[in-house]
């Protein structure tokens, strides 16, 4: 009579242990490894497009957009916002200065074909006072009218308590506008 060999207790799989093992495998890699890898690749491609092509992360450095955008706050800019329409007055946009990481956040106050002026701290568009509910602080800027040509926008920060000479504002070419701030 042949002798039976005994197996160690840890190598015997019980149905409960096998069931737990298969559920863990399904949770981690799915029922079909090829399909799971394909989904992971598709998600990676979608995330790449969204976070490298469609959206840009910007950090505010400076106080020119107070109180709307506090210093050192971070925002996403939608690069595809102006694919089907042009920028509008009141939009907060990212403007590329030089290189891929040099950008300003500013608000559009003047559109192509308009004249923009500052008189006693008020913005005048074609001679009419612009209603700016976002501008909270007093301003004393004075500037003669500037005519914007095709493809030019006038941009300015919301914090106009700063002297006009210390504040980055003025004409911005359309091609420099990267996208619209998501807020």
CA distance 132 to 121: 12
CA distance 82 to 155: 16
Buried b (16+ CB within 10 A) or exposed e, 19-29: eeeeeeeeeee
Q: Phi and psi dihedrals of 168, rounded to 5?
A: -75, 110
Task: Give me 40's structure tokens.
Answer: 């992971």
**Total Cβ atoms within 10 A of residue 170:** 16
Catalytic pick among 11, 22, 34, 64: 64
183 flagged as catalytic: no
106 flagged as catalytic: yes
Q: 171: closest CA among 147, 142, 139, 140?
A: 147
Catalytic pick among 11, 73, 80, 106: 106
Q: Which residues are catalytic?
A: 64, 106
């Amino acid at each position: 009579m042949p002798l039976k060999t005994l197996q160690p207790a840890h190598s015997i799989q019980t149905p409960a242990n096998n069931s737990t093992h298969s559920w863990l495998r399904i949770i981690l890699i799915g029922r079909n490894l090829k399909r799971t890898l394909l989904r992971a690749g598709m998600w990676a491609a979608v995330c790449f497009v969204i976070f490298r092509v469609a959206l840009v992360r910007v950090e505010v450095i400076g106080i020119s957009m107070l109180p709307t955008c506090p210093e050192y706050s971070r925002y996403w800019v939608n690069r595809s916002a102006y694919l089907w329409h042009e920028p509008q007055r009141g939009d907060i946009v990212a403007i590329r200065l030089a290189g891929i990481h040099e950008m300003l956040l500013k608000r559009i106050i003047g559109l192509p074909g308009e004249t923009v002026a500052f008189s006693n701290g008020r913005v005048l568009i074609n001679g009419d006072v612009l209603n700016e509910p976002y501008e909270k602080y007093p301003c004393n800027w004075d500037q003669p009218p500037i005519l914007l040509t095709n493809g030019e926008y006038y941009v300015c920060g919301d914090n106009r308590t700063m002297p006009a000479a210390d504040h980055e504002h003025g004409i911005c070419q359309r091609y420099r506008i990267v996208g619209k701030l998501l807020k």
